[in-house]
């Protein structure tokens, strides 16, 4: 009798140990996401003595997530377009044109810029917010311009794609170009600016990182796309244009290259940090330096406006040396391509499995 009772007790004890071990193992697997609730269904029902529905998986099924593609991430929320005159549309803005988004006239936001073209080509989950402003520096983007709300304040957590061109005004490119044009034709006044321009571009490294950080803080899941600047003149100029010698043109091309290199390095370093920590979103760079090849200033079909002088008051029109309609169309193509290709690495953005 006693031996039988002890044997029965040992059997019950062994069964308890087995059930406990199965339940513990199942719990660990579930906790680390190795298995889904419906895969070990029969084991779970038996081990935990839980009644299972006759049809369908057990109640309380864990949600299934999938990694989003670059395009899915970009289109999931709001497209926010920030930046300077290359993004606002200065080169195609017409005097008297109603500014987009109710902005001040001085921002020269034009429907012909690349941002409205992108908005028309894709369906963004929460529409577009276009606030680029002509003349903007990195400081003005963060703290305001012309008495208006800072561009950075337009970026919210709903942003899924942010495009940005910035840095040209920090480098003083407009004043540099002006000094090159108004110089005595045979002088070296243009290239004599090299040391000062190089200093400004070097200082830009820190301020660009600050801008990227502020955008990232406000839109931690967004793809941030920094758009570079094209070289304004042919790679190997053979003739003067707008009082600019071939050497002047080569030097100005070199300034654009240095500027793009700083922007590209800042974007790539920031994105490497995001990827290293497994964070969502990205920072990407579009190197537009050769984007207008064959269509530079002085060519038969330029994508950039050349020198445009108002003969009535002898002033230089602000559209000078800014993208023309063909240039903004090319910019839109570049952003289109970037939306599809992404940062060249998997994005850590996830959504429900459909």
State the angle between helix axes of 114-121 and 325-341 in degrees (0 to 180), rounded to the nearest 10. 50
Mean pLDDT value across residues 210-219: 98
- 147, 120, 117: which is closest to 133 by C-alpha? 147
Picking from 272-276, 301-305, 308-312, which range would have the lowest pLDDT averaged per residue? 308-312
Express as a percent the part of the chain with pLDDT over 70: 77
**Looking at per-residue confidence, does 156 or 28 come out higher?**
156
- Phi-psi sector, 311: left (phi>0), alpha (psi -120 to 50), beta: alpha
CA–CA gap between residue 159 and residue 144 (Å, rounded): 20
CA–CA gap between residue 152 and residue 145 (Å, rounded): 11
- 216, 199, 306: which is closest to 258 by C-alpha? 199
Local confidence band at 185 (pLDDT 50, 70, 90 cut-offs): confident
Q: Tell me the per-residue pLDDT of 45-95, one tens digit each, with 9 for 90 and over.
A: 444 344 455 555 556 666 678 999 999 999 999 999 999 999 999 999 987
302: pLDDT strictly greater than 80: yes
Q: What pairs with residue 129 in β-bridges?
A: 80
Q: Tell me the per-residue pLDDT of 309-321, one tens digit each, with 9 for 90 and over.
A: 765 565 667 888 9
DSSP 111-138: TTSHHHHHHHHS--TT-EEE---TT--H
Can you give the pLDDT at residue 120?
Answer: 94
Q: Tell me the per-residue pLDDT of 109-148, one tens digit each, with 9 for 90 and over.
A: 999 999 999 999 999 999 999 999 999 999 999 999 988 9
Alpha-helical runs (H) found in 126-245 = 138-143, 173-181, 194-218
């Amino acid at each position: 009798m006693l031996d039988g009772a002890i044997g029965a007790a040992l059997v019950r004890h062994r069964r308890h140990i087995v059930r406990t071990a199965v339940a513990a193992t199942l719990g660990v697997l579930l906790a680390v996401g190795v298995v889904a609730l419906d895969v070990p269904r029969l084991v779970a029902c038996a081990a935990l003595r839980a009644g299972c529905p006759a049809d369908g998986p057990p109640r309380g099924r864990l949600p299934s997530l999938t990694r989003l593609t670059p395009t899915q991430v970009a289109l999931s929320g709001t497209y926010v377009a920030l930046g300077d005159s290359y993004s606002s549309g200065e080169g195609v803005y017409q005097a008297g044109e109603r500014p987009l988004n109710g902005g001040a006239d001085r921002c020269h936001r034009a429907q012909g810029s690349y941002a409205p073209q992108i908005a028309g080509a894709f369906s963004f989950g929460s529409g577009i917010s276009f606030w680029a402003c002509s003349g903007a520096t990195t400081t003005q983007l963060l703290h305001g311009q012309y008495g208006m709300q800072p561009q950075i304040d337009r970026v919210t957590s709903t942003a899924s794609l942010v495009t940005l061109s910035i840095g040209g005004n920090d480098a003083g490119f407009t004043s540099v170009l002006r000094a090159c044009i108004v110089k005595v034709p045979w002088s070296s006044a243009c290239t004599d600016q090299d040391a000062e321009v190089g200093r400004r571009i070097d200082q830009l490294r820190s301020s660009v990182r600050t801008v990227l950080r502020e955008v990232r803080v406000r839109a931690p899941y967004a793809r941030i796309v920094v758009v570079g600047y094209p070289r304004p003149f042919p790679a190997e100029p053979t003739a003067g244009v707008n009082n600019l010698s071939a050497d002047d043109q080569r030097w100005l091309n070199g300034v654009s290259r240095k500027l793009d290199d700083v922007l590209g390095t800042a974007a790539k370093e920031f994105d490497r940090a995001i990827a290293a920590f497994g964070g969502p979103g990205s920072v990407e760079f579009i190197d537009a330096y050769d984007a207008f090849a064959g269509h530079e200033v002085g060519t038969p079909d330029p994508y950039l406006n050349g020198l445009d002088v108002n003969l009535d008051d002898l002033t230089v029109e602000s559209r000078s040396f800014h993208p023309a309609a063909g240039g903004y169309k090319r910019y839109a193509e570049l952003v289109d391509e970037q939306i599809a290709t992404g940062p060249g690495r998997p994005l850590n953005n996830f959504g429900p499995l459909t």
